Amino acid sequence: MGRIFSVQIVVATMNPGKVKEIKQIMGNIPVEILSLNDILQEKIIKIKETGNTYFENAFKKAKTVTRISGKYTIADDSGLEVDFLNGQPGVFSSRFAGEDATDEENIEKLLKLLVNVPEEERTARFRCTAVFYDGSQEIVLTADGVCEGKLATKKRGKGGFGYDPVFIPEGFEKTFAELPLSIKNKISHRAKAFKNLRRKIVDYFDF
């Protein structure tokens, strides 16, 4: 028999890569982590990220999914902040090359803007805000995480998603897309945010 959990939490994303990461990061706390696909059963919803901050976008996603599912929800929003571009694309990272841009299109635009920029000026960071939402009590828990690094001159690696193929975390020579998930989930912005959020969830449910 499978394990029975009294607490179910939905991850507000259709991205299977992100769900896999979050499940690993959240670890062995006694909750069942469900994906949005589990709830919608292959229906697709698109939640517009219209906020001016990572928190606004994450909270909007969490609140929308809780309204649909009736369950606790965790959501996050993150972005790549490039120093040479004065912090861009930031909160617009997922739509840097247009409203429905693919990861490849966003990376292509980024690399074109950084052509001939020397290594020492290619510094950047990933920033993440994660939220937990209990709609029945109108309770919001939030946590942040940052990962410093620099940008490669071309895509490298097959893992990850988003800007992972061009982001080299501080202290490493490989991109996030080249590093094993076990390492990424120790050092990434998302890992730091969700580890902080995990502690707050444990306290909230008094596990």
**Structure token digits, residue 47:** 């939640």
**Structure token digits, residue 92:** 């617009």
Of 38, 76, 77, 144, the active-site residue reads 77
Burial readout 156-180 (b: 16 or more C-beta within 10 A, e: otherwise)? bbeebebbbbbbbbeeeeebbbbbe
Asked if 132 and 200 count as a contact pair (C-beta separation under 8 A), the reply is: yes
Catalytic site includes residue 77: yes
90: left (phi over 0), alpha (psi -120 to 50) or beta: left
Q: Would you name the residues annotated as active-site residues?
A: 77
